[in-house]
Chain A
Amino acid sequence: GNSVTQMEGPVTLSEEAFLTINCTYTATGYPSLFWYVQYPGEGLQLLLKATKADDKGSNKGFEATYRKETTSFHLEKGSVQVSDSAVYFCALKEDNFNKFYFGSGTKLNVKP
């Protein structure tokens, strides 16, 4: 079956620190991989995505590379800001279906 595992939070960092949120997946086919972000009081927003192995998704300074050999899609940012404080969800979607499988979410707290 399909599943996504991501590191538990909360993750607390100081401003300008380096961020890594680990995500690994299990899939029966060839999924697309996503990172969604949920700011306080808001719905989920697509942060970045990658549709095939070795693709790198990037947006707002965040990056993640689709690693088929390690079934991973780790989220990274070189220098976090207070405004990056949110909950981050890793997710996969099989190509033949329009259903998402989400990780449990990782809460990021960035302190000034």
Chain B
Amino acid sequence: SQTIHQWPATLVQPVGSPLSLECTVEGTSNPNLYWYRQAAGRGLQLLFYSVGIGQISSEVPQNLSASRPQDRQFILSSKKLLLSDSGFYLCASSRGGYTFGSGTRLTVV
């Protein structure tokens, strides 16, 4: 079965600082990978998904970007964080089944 490693669990960053969240997958190959975000009081929203190395699809316009440099590595980035980027970020993988990581709670101050 697939396992997702996501870190850090919590992060506090100042406005205007860069961001890099990493997600790695074990136990499978060539998975589809996803980044979701949950803003306060709202549901999980799909931000990006990737069907392979270097292939990124963006679901909503925003201040964030994603990259997939390796088959089982998915990175969420920002050059300059905004207050509205605060939220709970979840990485997910689907390969025969859908698995979520434990999430990163990001607070931009």
| A interface residues (Cβ-Cβ under 8 A, vs B) | 4, 36, 41-46, 89, 91, 93, 98-105
State the majority secondary structure of interface residues on B: strand
Specify which chain A residues have a CB less than 8 angstroms from the CB of B43 in the assembled complex.
4, 89, 102-105
In the assembled complex, the Cα of A89 lies from the Cα of B88 at a distance in Å of 14
Contact B38 A105 (CB under 8 A): yes
A-B contact pairs, 5 of them (CB 8 A): A4-B43, A36-B100, A43-B101, A43-B102, A102-B43
1/0 contact string of B74-103 vs chain A (CB within 8 Å):
000000000000000010101000101111
In the assembled complex, the Cα of A46 lies from the Cα of B101 at a distance in Å of 12
Contact A100 B44 (CB under 8 A): yes
Specify which chain A residues have a CB less than 8 angstroms from the CB of B36 in the assembled complex.
100, 102
| A99: contacting residue among B6, B9, B34, B101, CB under 8 A | B34
Q: Report the interface size class on chain B.
A: 20 to 34
Any A CB within 8 A of the CB of B53:
no
| B interface residues (Cβ-Cβ under 8 A, vs A) | 4, 6, 9, 32, 34, 36, 38, 41-46, 49, 59, 90, 92, 94, 98, 100-103
7 further contact pairs, Cβ within 8 A, besides A36-B100, A98-B32: A43-B101, A89-B43, A99-B34, A99-B46, A100-B98, A104-B43, A105-B43
Chain A minimum-CB-distance residue to B46: A99
Chain B minimum-CB-distance residue to A104: B43
